[in-house]
Amino acid sequence: MTFRLALITLLAAAPARAAAPEPTVLQARAFIDRAERTLEDLNTKDNFANWAYATYIIYDTEKLVADADRAYAAETAKLAEEARRYEKLELPADVRRKILLLKLSVSAPAPRDPRDQKELADIQAWLQGEYGKGKYCRTPQMCLTLSDMEDVLRDSRDPKELLDVWQGWRTVSPPMRKKYERFVELSNKGARDLGFADAGALWRSRYDMPPSGFTAELDRLWEQLKPLYDSLHAYVRSRLIEKYGAEAVGADGLIPAHLLGNMWAQSWENIGPLAAPPASDPGYDLTKILEGRKTDERQMVRIGEGFFTSLGFDPLPQTFWERSLFTKPRDREVVCHASAWDVENSQDLRIKMCIKPNAEDFITIHHELGHNFYQRAYAAQPFLFRGSANDGFHEALGDTIALSVTPEYLKQIGLLDAVPGAEGDLGLLMKMALERVAFLPFGLMVDRWRWKVFSGEVKPEGYNKAWWDLAAQYQGVKPPAPRSETDFDPGAKYHVAANVPYTRYFLAHVLEFQFYRALCKQTGHTGPLHRCSFYSDKKAGERLNKMMALGASRPWPDALEAMTGSRKMDASAVSDYFAPLKSWLDSENAKRKKTGSAPY
């Protein structure tokens, strides 16, 4: 800052010189072409470093990743600043859009000062590593990884044991707190250097509309969805009271976070048997089927790939099978959180995931492969357009495919002998609601928290309280043990530690139902929406491909229109899908209220 001021004074004192000539449109295009070439090269290097770190966390890979991240973010910030010269020109639409995407592309934008740049990249790499290595040691000899603790939450119904691992995992994050505080300061500095109010404002500017319009869109969608979530929440809560007792659950209308089968209470499919509607058994359990057939990790991925090839997509390249990480290595630290990679513009696609042979991971495999097939579909786009229409689209693709994993589909591929009749519908819908409806408010609250943190509305001394206030407000969930500001529970969630924006998952959970409904309509499906599978429908594949091939070249409403005929995100497809469950939940909840068995 001092340096810049000094420079201005110097210029003012210098004799008048001819003003720099106005740049031309031709120069603007040459500039952005060059920027893309430079960034593509740095991005590939950064990808190699990140892969090495995420699959082998040691001091050296941490340093390599910090340096590669820093180089990429610094170059992006420098180019974004240079691009300002051209912004006043009457630019062709593609050049203008690329300049915009350039400015928005880095989630923790680099500040101007090189020392700040290094500090920011160092903190980011460190936080990721802490999360990946995190363990809870009951005794010095008995340490549990996140993966071990997730097993407990999935399978145990002993509240003491559940509480122990819930608290145990959250011992990993308090050391992150101070660094996170500094991380917020530095990313805000970078965002301000680019002309945004703070880093949260930059994130909210990624949706082809003014940021305030975007938050209003989120509110509108949540209003559409909230009644369904509330019905599910009330029913699940009353079933938990039946299981664990009124005292264990409490009388405040909230659900203790350790009873929902998931470390973050973000999706509840693992308590399926506890919440299943009586007398509506779909008659199969995918986890048991996979276990029974001894389906291994690679085979699970092959089945997922099979869905995509049935739609007409090419099989994944040989290198995918050679370079991906499918299982948790025994001899080294890795970041187990699932991710999909495009290391060298679609020539080197990979996934990294510590797969377990269960239904939850089977679905996540489809999610990850959706990323890879998206990446391949837009590979011919110029670098800055290699992304999805908005980040929700990328997250929605694989989930759309997974909605087609119906009993009918499982029978077609030989995993299931008999398809349940209509009597299994409620059970099927409940499973899906526990997975996807339960997720919705969590998908919103994570970034509501971060936006407040970035804007300064929530200060470091209120980090943890603000997190749980939002969990209560949106999810109706509460911590099962007293929390304080010595804790840092947000850091126990991967996307906070790794600085991955989260609203994308909320959007995805709306978009995937919209995509699915449109594709099902096209296949001529009749009957309840949730029984539709577009497996092996080449026309569905073509339509998906057409949307994905656009990459980020057009504003997202264009891509949505190509896919669904509508230019608006719309939660009515979610309501359509779950309509029979919603009426059943409402009548059950009314009955329980009347008999006093559900204290709301």
Which residues form the interface with ligand X8Z (CB under 6 A)?
266, 338-339, 364, 367, 505
Instruction: Indicate the residue among 170 and 504 with the shorter CB distance to Zn ion.
Output: 504
The reply to whether 367 belongs to the active site is: yes
Cα 590 from Cα 600, distance rounded (Å): 11
Catalytic residue of the set 52, 197, 276, 338: 338
Catalytic residue of the set 360, 395, 512, 588: 395
Q: Which helix (H) or strand (E) holds 349?
A: strand 349-352
Instruction: Tokens for 19, please give them.
Output: 């003003």
The reply to whether 191 belongs to the active site is: no
Q: Which does 364 bind (CB under 5 to 8 A by kind): Zn ion, ligand X8Z, none?
A: ligand X8Z
Quickly count: other Cβ atoms within 10 Å of residue 145's Cβ: 18
Residue 383: is it exposed, middle or buried by C-beta count within 10 angstroms (0-12/13-18/19+)?
A: buried
The reply to whether 505 belongs to the active site is: yes
Could you tell me the smallest distance in angstroms from the CB atom of residue 207 to Zn ion? 18
Could you tell me the smallest distance in angstroms from the CB atom of residue 596 to ligand X8Z? 37
Instruction: Tokens for 449, please give them.
Output: 């928290």
The reply to whether 530 belongs to the active site is: no
Instruction: Tokens for 118, please give them.
Output: 């290094």
> Phi and psi for 136 in degrees, rounded to 5?
-115, 120
Catalytic residue of the set 371, 394, 509, 530: 371
Confirm if 317 and 347 have CB atoms less than 8 A apart. Answer: yes
Cα 190 from Cα 197, distance rounded (Å): 10
Confirm if 294 and 94 have CB atoms less than 8 A apart. Answer: no
Cα 332 from Cα 325, distance rounded (Å): 13
> Phi and psi for 595 in degrees, rounded to 5?
-80, 0
Q: Looking at beta carbons, which residue is closest to ligand X8Z?
A: 338
* Footprint on residues 473-512 left by Zn ion (CB under 5 A): none
Q: Which residues of 98-127 are buried (b: 16+ CB within 10 A; e: fewer)?
A: bbbbbbbbbbbbbbbbeebbebbbbbbbbb
Instruction: Indicate the residue among 359 and 402 with the shorter CB distance to Zn ion.
Output: 402
Q: How many residues bind Zn ion (CB under 5 A)?
A: 1
Could you tell me the smallest distance in angstroms from the CB atom of residue 369 to ligand X8Z? 12
Q: How many CA atoms lie within 13 A of 23 on its CB side?
A: 17
Catalytic residue of the set 233, 258, 337, 509: 337
Could you tell me the smallest distance in angstroms from the CB atom of residue 443 to ligand X8Z? 7
Q: Which does 338 bind (CB under 5 to 8 A by kind): Zn ion, ligand X8Z, none?
A: ligand X8Z
Cα 381 from Cα 551, distance rounded (Å): 7
Catalytic residue of the set 367, 394, 509, 530: 367
The reply to whether 509 belongs to the active site is: no
For tokens 């659900």, name the residue.
Answer: 255
Instruction: Tokens for 136, please give them.
Output: 């809870």
Pairing of strands 339-342, 135-139: unpaired
The reply to whether 130 belongs to the active site is: no
Instruction: Indicate the residue among 189 and 367 with the shorter CB distance to ligand X8Z.
Output: 367
Could you tell me the smallest distance in angstroms from the CB atom of residue 441 to ligand X8Z? 13
* Footprint on residues 354-413 left by Zn ion (CB under 5 A): 395
Instruction: Indicate the residue among 395 and 487 with the shorter CB distance to Zn ion.
Output: 395
Instruction: Indicate the residue among 339 and 499 with the shorter CB distance to ligand X8Z.
Output: 339
Q: How remote is the C-alpha of 447 from its chain's centroid?
A: 11
Instruction: Indicate the residue among 258 and 509 with the shorter CB distance to Zn ion.
Output: 509
Instruction: Tokens for 442, please give them.
Output: 């969590």
Instruction: Indicate the residue among 266 and 564 with the shorter CB distance to ligand X8Z.
Output: 266
Catalytic residue of the set 119, 269, 368, 512: 368
Could you tell me the smallest distance in angstroms from the CB atom of residue 59 to ligand X8Z? 26
Could you tell me the smallest distance in angstroms from the CB atom of residue 110 to ligand X8Z? 24
Cα 517 from Cα 455, distance rounded (Å): 38
Q: Which does 388 bind (CB under 5 to 8 A by kind): Zn ion, ligand X8Z, none?
A: none
* Footprint on residues 178-207 left by Zn ion (CB under 5 A): none
> Which residues of the chain form contacts with Zn ion (CB under 5 A)?
395
Q: Name the residues annotated as catalytic.
A: 337-338, 367-368, 371, 395, 495, 505
